[in-house]
Structure 1
Amino acid sequence: MTGPATASADPRTRTDGLGWVTRAVFGAEQVGLTVAGRPPTEHRTVARYAIVPSVRRARFLLPLGSPRATAASLLAYNALRPPRVRAARAVLGGLARLGGLELARFPVLTVSLPDAVAAEEALLSHRLAALLGGGAAYAACGVRPPDPNHKPTLQLFAPNGRPLGFAKIGWNDATRALVAAEAAALRELPALVRVPDHPVAPRLLAELRWAGRSVALVQPLPPTVRGLSTTAEPEVAAVLAVARRGRPPARPRPLAGSSFLARLTRTAHQAVATMSADTRAVVAVAGLASRHGETLVEFGHWHGDWVPWNLGRHADRLVAWDWEHSAPDVPVGFDLAHDAFQRALVLRGSSVTVAADAVDLQLRRYGDALGLNRAGQRLVADAYLLELWLRTWRLADAGAGWNPALHPALLELLVQQDHR
């Protein structure tokens, strides 16, 4: 990338996580970025960030200029994080609160602009601050290894450390689609706040396109939100509230003729067209229809990523975030299936086969509460696994690459289902 800063000093030229994040967040050509150097003489400095712990091993971009905002970027929502991460952030946040971060000799990223360029025209953080009312705002950003499925995020804080908003940045086809889907879901959810057992969700504050990016600005979570235990029982009543949206249970309908099956079939054919004559996805959908076409099941909405790390509790209400995979008209029970599969795959490091068995067990335990007989439980389990693989394909096809934990193992499992 070319720009006003020299190539050796501009982190956007890097191929690691720091390069990926700075390209996504500071993509406008007018923006100058320098590390351990001065900005061009015709530029003015508009922001400074501590790169923690180092340029080579960067994990955070922490805003400088307001100790309370810097500390808040480390301490806010710390209760949601694992104990080891929480302890490290607490130590660093305490140092920041005392104004000691600038004395800790972390590398400093300096953001600059030409004198004639307004900050809100060239910098996403300043544009978001303007949308929030125009007051001063400090942005913090985590740094992760480059991954075409990950979305850079900005946390915005007032000078006194009060959280202002949380912005997700879609930067390629896959992540732009996810950001747009979450924004669409969050626009609908305020109408459901009074539905019994329905989780509270952060409000969508703004949605915008910025330098080729799709950005969703979301209300911060309540400061006192607490995470759920990863061993806690599933929130079945909340899953049903999400599925039914305050309406009575829908009349069960057969899988055959449903818009859900039609969508799976259409998507599977699209997948096959991109996979060099590998027809297994179409075969899997045909097998699902053959086994379960006459099975009756209730259809409704789902959150799409219902897992303990996307859930919390505040003021005796369940709070749910990350709605980017939310969708209507899926078999009721998908969220519980996803919860079981991801707990096994992510938390216990299980294989796809073992995670699929966990889905079966969870649906047997809670099938009655979901209105599912044994045939319905089998349909939900099989259809969920197919839905999950098609999601994996969609992300890969949109530029995110294949998730090696799911592909090809999940597709191989799907074509064996006729014999299960």
Structure 2
Amino acid sequence: MPVKTAPAALTAGDSALRTQYLAEVLALLYPEPCRTDDRKGEPVAEYLVVPDARRPRLLVPTTSRRVAAAAVRRYAEPQSRSARLKRDAVVAALRTGASSVLLRDRVKVTGPASESIDGYLREALGRELSVSIHIGPARANRKPVLQLISPDGETFGFGKLGTGALTQRLVKAETAALTALGTLGLTKLTVPRVLHAGQWRGSQVLIQSALPVWLPRAPMTPRRLTAAMLDIAGCCGYTTGTLAASHYLVELRSRLAAVADRAEGTELAAAAEKLAAHTGDTVLRYGAWHGDWAPWNMANLTDALLVWDWERFTKGVPVGFDAVHHELQRRIQSSGDAAGAVEATVRRSAELLQPFGVAPEARELTALLYLVDLATRYLADRQAEAGARLGVLGTWLLPVLIRRVEKL
């Protein structure tokens, strides 16, 4: 489960938010009586701030050169050649001991080790480890993400901490999903294993095995991606029935009712009801979906397709949701034009959903239901209030959805 990489340079506002979040994360992982103000005391941990304290993205443990280099090398897969070169330069500096030239900002933690996240994880997992900490962009579902590294530089696990109501629910959901998926005999993809789940100082903790995402990648083929998505769609069985009589529509209406206090929620509910009124007799097949199957949540190797971030895994949704989601996220990532990506994805729904056995008359309906589902999630999570880049649905998703529904 490597972390997501931002598609664009940090703005001044995002830098300030990251700096604030860095302080919050340190206070969470190293609560009092631990301190991070350079006062004298028993050393607990020391970190290099990458790239610096003004734009923190990663805290790299200084346990050893090998551990520090592993923390950066396996932190994320860079999305461009220039980003890979920068990453490799930092790794080389850490390996040779020249990092003091590139990385001048440090965080020193002192206090009783037993009160720190390091102490908790060592006891829970029964092994020595160092922790590398990811500082992510503003999102409602942002949570501390930890890379766990052995003394010999092996990244053996990733951890998530749910700290508020939403993130605690998501961490619990991912724990349940990974536990269930580990028993279902999946053959077309590989998912992490649960190494530990529990609570620490009010936070929900999930430690999962590290998938070998650092191995060489292979070109992804549509056939392989479709086969893996179908493996998930059918892993808990299928049901078939009209949209109007489906349990899915009942659940969707319940979720929409929970966001009806907002103007966008009212618009979204109206569009959903109009969609149901026009297409309620359409027969759909229902199965499971990953819930966030995006290019940055998977890695295709020669002999395995690795997929992580299962906190949105859900059963009983129209088959094909994963394919539509992947297409939309891929287009947003490549173009930056979110509204255009929504329009293009809906236009391509017939081609996208044909391999999933979705009937021709149900393909655009499936894509539009997916948009309603995604928008409902954004509103329920309060992504706009959290400052998420795509949190304001009226700027990209809602106009396209409403226009498409009006044409039915």
For the superposition of Structure 1 and Structure 2, which TM-score range results when normalised by the shorter chain? Answer: 0.7 to 0.9
Corresponding position: 1:236 with 2:232: no
Give the fraction of aligned pairs with identical amino acids, expressed as a percent.
28
**TM-score between both structures, scaled by the size of structure 1:** 0.84
CA distance in 1, matches of 2:388, 2:67: 37
Deviations 1:87-141 (A, max 9, x none): 211111111112333565612211011xxx4x23x21133122222132x11112
Q: CA, structure 1 residues 234+169, in 2 after alignment: closer, same or farther (shift >3 Å)?
A: same
Q: Can you give the 5+ residue segments of structure 2 that lack an aligned partner in the other structure?
A: 1-14
Match of 2:61 in 1: 63
8 A contact 2:297–2:307 mirrored in 1: yes
Match of 1:368 in 2: 354
Q: CA, structure 1 residues 401+260, in 2 after alignment: closer, same or farther (shift >3 Å)?
A: farther
- In the TM superposition, residue 261 of structure 1 has moved relative to its aligned partner by 0.2
- Secondary structure of residue in 2 paired with 1:235: helix
CA distance in 1, matches of 2:80, 2:376: 31
8 A contact 1:230–1:309 mirrored in 2: no
8 A contact 2:219–2:300 mirrored in 1: no
Q: CA, structure 1 residues 213+398, in 2 after alignment: closer, same or farther (shift >3 Å)?
A: farther
- In the TM superposition, residue 278 of structure 1 has moved relative to its aligned partner by 5.9
Q: CA, structure 1 residues 402+20, in 2 after alignment: closer, same or farther (shift >3 Å)?
A: closer
CA distance in 1, matches of 2:138, 2:243: 40
Corresponding position: 1:263 with 2:263: no
In structure 1, give the amino acid aligned to 2:285.
E
Deviations 1:27-83 (A, max 9, x none): 22211002xxx424xx21111111233322333211112111001001126656543
**Structure 2 counterpart of 1:89, from 82, 87, 103:** 87
- Secondary structure of residue in 2 paired with 1:196: coil
- Secondary structure of residue in 1 paired with 2:33: coil
8 A contact 1:172–1:399 mirrored in 2: no
Deviations 1:179-230 (A, max 9, x none): 22212211111113x3332x11011111222233222111111265445668
Corresponding position: 1:285 with 2:243: no
- Secondary structure of residue in 2 paired with 1:58: coil
CA distance in 1, matches of 2:378, 2:218: 26
Deviates more, 1:328-337 or 1:393-402: 393-402
Match of 1:4 in 2: none
8 A contact 1:228–1:309 mirrored in 2: no
Match of 1:5 in 2: none
Deviations 1:363-415 (A, max 9, x none): 31243321112211022111001001001111107964565365113233333
Q: CA, structure 1 residues 160+54, in 2 after alignment: closer, same or farther (shift >3 Å)?
A: same
Corresponding position: 1:393 with 2:379: yes
**Structure 1 counterpart of 2:186, from 195, 198, 207:** 195
Match of 1:295 in 2: 282
CA distance in 2, matches of 1:313, 1:230: 6
In structure 2, give the amino acid aligned to 1:30.
P
8 A contact 2:177–2:310 mirrored in 1: yes
**Structure 2 counterpart of 1:128, from 121, 141, 145:** 121
In structure 2, give the amino acid aligned to 1:124.
I
Q: CA, structure 1 residues 140+251, in 2 after alignment: closer, same or farther (shift >3 Å)?
A: closer
User: Between Structure 1 and Structure 2, how many residues are aligned?
Assistant: 390
Q: Pairwise mapping of residues 321-400 of structure 1 onto structure 2 (< 5 A)?
A: 321-361=308-348, 363-396=349-382, 400=386
Match of 1:31 in 2: 34
CA distance in 2, matches of 1:290, 1:102: 64
Q: CA, structure 1 residues 58+234, in 2 after alignment: closer, same or farther (shift >3 Å)?
A: same
In structure 2, give the amino acid aligned to 1:245.
C
Q: CA, structure 1 residues 112+335, in 2 after alignment: closer, same or farther (shift >3 Å)?
A: same
Deviates more, 1:15-24 or 1:330-339: 15-24
Q: CA, structure 1 residues 224+384, in 2 after alignment: closer, same or farther (shift >3 Å)?
A: same
In structure 2, give the amino acid aligned to 1:367.
L
In structure 2, give the amino acid aligned to 1:312.
A
8 A contact 2:236–2:315 mirrored in 1: no
CA distance in 2, matches of 1:153, 1:64: 18
8 A contact 2:234–2:287 mirrored in 1: yes
CA distance in 2, matches of 1:304, 1:86: 29
CA distance in 2, matches of 1:105, 1:387: 43
In structure 2, give the amino acid aligned to 1:95.
A
Deviates more, 1:100-109 or 1:22-31: 100-109
